[in-house]
A = this chain, B = another copy of it.
Amino acid sequence: MAKPPKHKKKRQHYALPHAGSSPGMIYIDEKALKPIINLHQYNAESYKVQELNDLNNLKHILTDKNHTFWVEIKGFKSLAMFEILTKDFGVNKLILEDITRTYQRPKQEEYDTYVFAVSRMLQLDENQNLENQQYSFILTDNALFTFQEHYEDCIDPVRSRLKIGKGNIRTSGSSYLMYVLMDMIIDTYFEILGSWGDQLDNIEDRLFDKPDKTVMFDTQLIKRNLINIRRVAWPERDKLNDILRSDTHLIPDHTKMYIRDAYDHCIQIIDIVESLKEISASNIDMYLSIISNRMNEIMKVLTIISSIFIPLTFIAGIYGMNFASTDPITGKLLPQNMPELYQEHGYLYTMIVMAAIAVLQIIYFWRKGWFK
């Protein structure tokens, strides 16, 4: 029997806060990437993107109230960068800690001059493993800061829409941009769930056609992933709900109308996750019942063959006994020892008896429905 497929899965890390460190201490991982800072500056008429080396001059740039700014930060390897956020923009140190310790649940927190929010960006890598990256937002009145740990992400479509300027993305301010990014991230969940839904359908087909143990392994793997995505989707829903009910001036009603749409999407995500979980469970039930059925079939074959032939073999064994008709030494006749052996039709009758036993047994098993 083939070995179950080896899933070279990356371990999911339960990133630990460094026990005993000061709260609000910014933690930069050794393997953190060098930050790339892109400054998108746009309004209805114009769009410009430039790469910054650092944030030193940013405060000055952002005084221009005619443009909306998107400060896109990828990679965290610069303590100085974070310190400027505190110094120039008054960002609380606990928030910077949350940005750099990338194991936060989706949440939003409101402060006087800015809103902090966290989304989880989910992507399937080439081995179908679930990558789970933190995407953090700091929203001010005319700017949106976003923070991501790695360079890869799933938000290129937003960048191109911003460049093209279709729809109202350039005219609706920084909170609308935050919405667009959050919605973009949630939309990728649909793709991932769609892929898993297809896999579950495929597994179900295998269940009907030729179920083997990979069914179990594959379903469990999807179930595990569904647990992970649910851990993300529920707090995401809470976050969006918090935004909807918040009364910060930074998120105007116009944006909230769209957030409500994203909230609906998130409910649908949860809905699909729960359905897929039920389908997984139902596949596993199916599989276990199929295994039991197979065991029954195997045992039926064994029992039918054994039950038919063991008694016949016993009869053959009887007439293979060597009870003698004469004592070889004294020559005394022993006529009661196996006289059947010396009947003219002994062999024939024996064969007939054997055949009759076999036929009766087959009828018995047939009646029991074991041949169906």
Contact = CB atoms under 8 A, between A and B. Distances in A.
Contacts of A372: 1-2, 212
A126 B193 CA distance: 29
A161 interface: yes
For the residues of A in contact with B, the DSSP-based class is helix
A124 interface: no
A292 B288 contact: yes
Interface residues of A, number: 129
Contacts of A7: 208
Contacts of A80: none
A297 B327 CA distance: 47
Contact of A289 (B2, B291, B295, B322): B291
Contact of A328 (B161, B264, B271, B326): B326
A110 to B, nearest CB: 12
A244 interface: no
Contacts of A325: 328-329
A20 B158 contact: yes
B369 A227 contact: no
Interface in A250-284: 257-258, 261, 264-265, 267-268, 271-272, 275, 278-279, 282, 284
Interface stretch (A44-52, A67-75, A313-321): A313-321
A23 interface: yes
A214 B334 CA distance: 57
Interface stretch (A55-63, A81-89, A133-141, A337-345): A337-345
Contacts of A167: 22-25
Contact of A294 (B212, B278, B296): B296
Contact of A321 (B25, B227, B275, B322): B322
Contacts of A197: 12, 14
Interface string A191-217: 101100110010000001010110011
Given A298-B303, A325-B328, 15 more contacts: A2-B372, A103-B268, A105-B264, A212-B372, A213-B290, A216-B289, A223-B282, A224-B282, A301-B307, A305-B311, A320-B320, A327-B342, A336-B348, A337-B341, A337-B343
12 contacts: A2-B372, A14-B190, A14-B194, A17-B187, A213-B290, A220-B285, A231-B275, A301-B303, A309-B311, A323-B350, A327-B342, A329-B333
Q: Which 5 pairs show the lowest CB-CB distances between chains A and B? A: A20-B157, A316-B317, A22-B167, A319-B321, A19-B187
